[in-house]
Structure 1
Amino acid sequence: MSNVSGCREARHAGSWYAASDTQLRTQLEGWLSRCTQQCVAKAIIAPHAGYVYCGSCASHAYQQIDPATIQRVFILGPSHHISLSGCALSSARVYRTPLYDMSIDQEVYRELWQTGTFEHMSLQTDEDEHSLEMQLPLLAKVMESRKDAFSIVPVLVGSLSDGKEREYGQIFSHYLGQQGTLFIISSDFCHWGERFHYTYYDETQGEIYQSIEHLDRLGMAAIEALDPKAFNNYLKDYQNTICGRHPIAILLNAVAALRKNGTSMTFSFLSYVQSSLCYKKHDSSVSYAAGVLTTS
């Protein structure tokens, strides 16, 4: 990989998704064409695994984005490689994808720095983090007609306390309430199996994979209720291994702040799949869900 100063490269291209722009476009167009636009997204939750596993699922959320209305896109993804107690901002100025480059909104970054609550993310950490990168090709494809007319605001989210989730939710509510702004929350759902150190199984639900889906849908119901307290209680009760739980909680707290001021919002999940179906304790799987937040 070449080292371009101030530019975050597409490190996972060629392994997690196609490196060829032609092949990638064809793949993304195929998935998106099989999804219907049901609403106009204000925010989406989308998975971040290899596209062979979750690309079709994620496309259900991305199909709800109206490019004509978007000027700025926040991307909140969990940190998989470094320990963070807060949120971190990129040291890059541009993100590179196989389709085209995206500019990071330096004006918004300055505003976020001024809050005194954000940390620096090194370029190495940024390039290693797939939770941010895996959202970029789908976003690039959906926004291709306006590729020079929008900016992005990538944010790496650490292991936050309930209080910090509320604090960041309050900060981001200012932007969520603005016209022309979209939020992408990057998250997979249950990581089940011994290799993930999580084997919760409710035998009353049937097979293991059915128990996993029931478990995930309990959390999805709390999200659809837009209730940050219910979501946090759910996580404490079941310890479900939702890797983007903190970015999701930030979104829920941002929505809660806006709703106090009279803003009406709804959230709906559009797709749910598992990477494989678990029947035995030695099996493993990761769940993926795609959902959309709309204003009403």
Structure 2
Amino acid sequence: MSVRRATHGGSWYSDSPEELRKQLDNWLNAADLTHGPARAIIAPHAGYQYSGACSGFAYRQVSAVVVRRIFILGPSHHVRLGGCALSTATKYCTPLYDLRVDVKVNADLDATGHFEWMDMSVDEDEHSIEMHLPYVAKVMEDYKDSFTIVPVLVGSLTPDKESVYGSIFSQYLADPQNLFVISSDFCHWGHRFRYTYYDRSWGDIFQAITYLDKMGMDIIESLDPQAFTAYLKKYGNTICGRHPIGVLLQAVNSLQKSGSNGHRMCLKFLKYAQSSQCNNMNDSSVSYAAGALTIE
């Protein structure tokens, strides 16, 4: 049995089960169930002191009684990857309890010929998937023995590849027992991120960042993958999970094209936050957004 350790516990989030549970409870209780049951959520992956409260708005929309499998799509921060990679681990540790990896779904995905496998060192270095595990463990706590996870590391995909992966995942998205967690922060602004786009007509810097992010969020809500690609090309907004988001939009697109029993799909953003307020060109910030997709 191959176990992935909780390598960011104790630094990016609390490794004390009591403290972590209390914190997650507080954040979930502060959010309202307004757009659920979610079939997919978009939530950030920064340290919990920055983004934990924002994530609560996405996880609040999850109906644990329905969900039996959770796909977690996170961007690769440390290795160059032209496609998507699966985990060799059979268990992922969290301070609350261990999560079981769905080895059968991994085998099915591998059989498509479109996935590679990540080394355990790559898996344990990456935070974009791990930062969702405590939240997953918390919302699924009453059903901890009856669900599995499918962690997927998403590389720098071309629009065509996003479409390929979207069509592969669409069959899973169609199943109400599956939940997709899309891991993404929004604008990384400042010299340290090599991104300082600023349109003064949009107000102060922090207001301009908000405007830029909201424009992207509106396009994501429209569920139009081509429009999202065009937006990224035009503004270069540093949304680190743009490829996982692109894959989700393509999966939705693929479902719509298949005329999937006239399902109504609706994606809404429920919360937006920034790590700090940028007022001059030497400041920096990271933006966070929480959204949920419902399928009726």
**Residue 36 of structure 1 aligns with which residue?**
32
**Residue 83 of structure 1 aligns with which residue?**
80
**Residue 289 of structure 1 aligns with which residue?**
289
Superposition deviation, residue 49 in structure 1: 0.1
1:213 aligned to 2:210? yes
Superposition deviation, residue 179 in structure 1: 2.4
1:226 aligned to 2:246? no
Superposition deviation, residue 205 in structure 1: 1.0
What pairs with 1:37-76 in structure 2 (closer than 5 Å)?
37-38=33-34, 39-76=36-73
Give the residue type in structure 2 aligned to 1:211.
A
Secondary structure, counterpart of 2:239 in structure 1? coil
Tell me, in whole angstroms, the C-alpha distance in 2 between the residues paired with 1:169 and 1:130. 23
Which structure 1 residue ranges, 4+ long, deviate > 3 Å from structure 2? Answer: none
1:151 aligned to 2:143? no
Q: How many residues align?
A: 292
Superposition deviation, residue 292 in structure 1: 0.2
Q: 1:183-222: CA deviations, max 9, x gaps? A: 0000000000000000000101110000000000111011
Gaps of 5+ in 2: none
**Residue 250 of structure 2 aligns with which residue?**
253
Give the residue type in structure 1 aligned to 2:232.
L
Give the residue type in structure 2 aligned to 1:108.
V
Tell me, in whole angstroms, the C-alpha distance in 1 between the residues paired with 2:11 and 2:108. 35
Tell me, in whole angstroms, the C-alpha distance in 1 between the residues paired with 2:32 and 2:213. 24
Superposition deviation, residue 263 in structure 1: 2.5
Tell me, in whole angstroms, the C-alpha distance in 2 between the residues paired with 1:179 and 1:59. 21
Give the residue type in structure 2 aligned to 1:184.
V
Q: 2:113 aligns with which of 91, 111, 116?
A: 116
Tell me, in whole angstroms, the C-alpha distance in 1 between the residues paired with 2:30 and 2:289. 16
Tell me, in whole angstroms, the C-alpha distance in 2 between the residues paired with 1:64 and 1:126. 27
Do 2:156 and 2:243's aligned partners in 1 also have CA atoms closer than 8 Å? yes
Tell me, in whole angstroms, the C-alpha distance in 1 between the residues paired with 2:168 and 2:37. 23
What pairs with 1:140-179 in structure 2 (closer than 5 Å)?
140-179=137-176
Q: 2:183 aligns with which of 182, 186, 190?
A: 186
**Residue 22 of structure 2 aligns with which residue?**
26
1:269 aligned to 2:269? yes
Tell me, in whole angstroms, the C-alpha distance in 1 between the residues paired with 2:176 and 2:15. 33
Superposition TM-score, scaled by structure 1 size: 0.98
Secondary structure, counterpart of 1:167 in structure 2? helix
1:11 aligned to 2:13? no
Identical positions, percent: 58
Q: 1:78-110: CA deviations, max 9, x gaps? A: 000000000000111100000000110011001
Superposition TM-score, scaled by structure 2 size: 0.98
Secondary structure, counterpart of 2:129 in structure 1? helix
Secondary structure, counterpart of 1:131 in structure 2? coil
Tell me, in whole angstroms, the C-alpha distance in 2 between the residues paired with 1:252 and 1:103. 27
Gaps of 5+ in 1: none
Tell me, in whole angstroms, the C-alpha distance in 2 between the residues paired with 1:7 and 1:263. 38
Secondary structure, counterpart of 1:240 in structure 2? coil
Do 2:92 and 2:98's aligned partners in 1 also have CA atoms closer than 8 Å? yes
Tell me, in whole angstroms, the C-alpha distance in 2 between the residues paired with 1:275 and 1:230. 27
1:195 aligned to 2:196? no
Do 2:39 and 2:176's aligned partners in 1 also have CA atoms closer than 8 Å? no
